[in-house]
Amino acid sequence: MEKRTLGTSGLEVSAIGLGCMGMSHGLGPAGDHDEMVAVIRGAVERGVTFFDTAEVYGPWTNERLVGAALAPVRDDVVIATKFGFAIDADGRQHPGVSSRPEHITEVADASLGRLGIDTIDLFYQHRVDPDVPIEEVAGAVGELVAAGKVRHFGLSEAGAGTIRRAHAVHPVTALQSEYSLWWREPEQSVLPTLAELGIGFVPFSPLGKGFLTGAIDAGTSFAEGDIRGTIPRFTAEAREANQALVDRIGIIAAGMDATPAQVALAWLLAQQPWIVPIPGTTRSARVEENVGAADLALTPADLAEIDAAAAQVRVVGERYPEAMQALIDR
């Protein structure tokens, strides 16, 4: 698969990564361990070299899964994980966030152990902590880099001002935030800031948590533990209204002999050469479909058609419940 470099950092990864969260957390019951290992290793065979996890996914179980799956190919892949939430010794997540420097160090050591690796390739702050200056966070990660425990520093859901302040203390390699054809807010101030500073962008939920694939409609029921059941954008009424966007993408995809998911991912890849989406899945067939997007070259005319189609639809519903929305840094 085509490789891309995240900004000017020198960190090279596959053009399409794999978000592993849903294998253990957030989208209903966790997948069977052996089956999920097979999905991850199948992704490697298809050219994926960039894998995303976090301590809070589970908590902890997803890091163990990713570490076990990638152990045979550790030197050939890039593993990203995250710190920033408060989790007690029994694995219970507490409300709010925590990025105290001593906590960051504790999480790094624990994540290294769960992943079974010597160095974390990319260590993101999962959510900005309003009670800890971002300069202290960047300094703490910088110390981990100096100690050889971390290679690169990343941020997630951070605003332009926070990105600048962090980058002034320690280079930020990548920002991870939601970005897709139905959530384009990063275009306003975040993407220009990343371009200016030479920082890569890793869109999560690049397929709208599955909605842009066309596999979800107003009649879909979500399993217990699936966060989409709590998200305003996924109410039955919102899904019915938002279906118009999927229908338009589907028409365009049919004309390209592609799937809606491939068009949505190819559109992201065409925005900037330093953008690397990380669609998540628990199915090898979806991995193969998503990887195929890297071979779908969109012309300027194609991109104009997609943008025009998207502009005709007003997306209904917030992307997070109120409590989660409050954690987003502006």
Q: Which domains does the chain have, with CATH numbers?
A: 3-209+262-296 (3.20.20.100)
Rounded CA separation 241/224 (Å) = 24
pLDDT at 79: 99
Selecting among 57, 124, 179, 320, the annotated active-site residue is 57
Rounded CA separation 103/274 (Å) = 31
Overall average pLDDT of the 74-83 stretch:
98
CA 121 to the chain's CA centroid: 15
pLDDT at 330: 73
Rounded CA separation 199/287 (Å) = 26
pLDDT at 226: 95
Overall average pLDDT of the 135-144 stretch:
98
- pLDDT classification of 93: cutoffs 50, 70, 90: confident
Overall average pLDDT of the 8-20 stretch:
98
Q: For 190-210, write each residue's pLDDT tens digit.
A: 999 999 999 999 999 999 999
155: β partners: 125, 175
- pLDDT classification of 322: cutoffs 50, 70, 90: confident
**Per the structure block, which two tokens stand in for 151?**
């290679």
Q: For 225-255, write each residue's pLDDT tens digit.
A: 999 999 999 999 999 999 999 999 999 999 9
Beta-strand ranges (E) seen in 181-220 are 200-204
Rounded CA separation 25/92 (Å) = 13
110, pLDDT greater than 80 = yes
CB 21 within 8 A of CB 57: yes
pLDDT at 182: 94
Is 124 in the active site? no
**Per the structure block, which two tokens stand in for 267?**
């559109």
Share of the chain above pLDDT 70, in %: 100
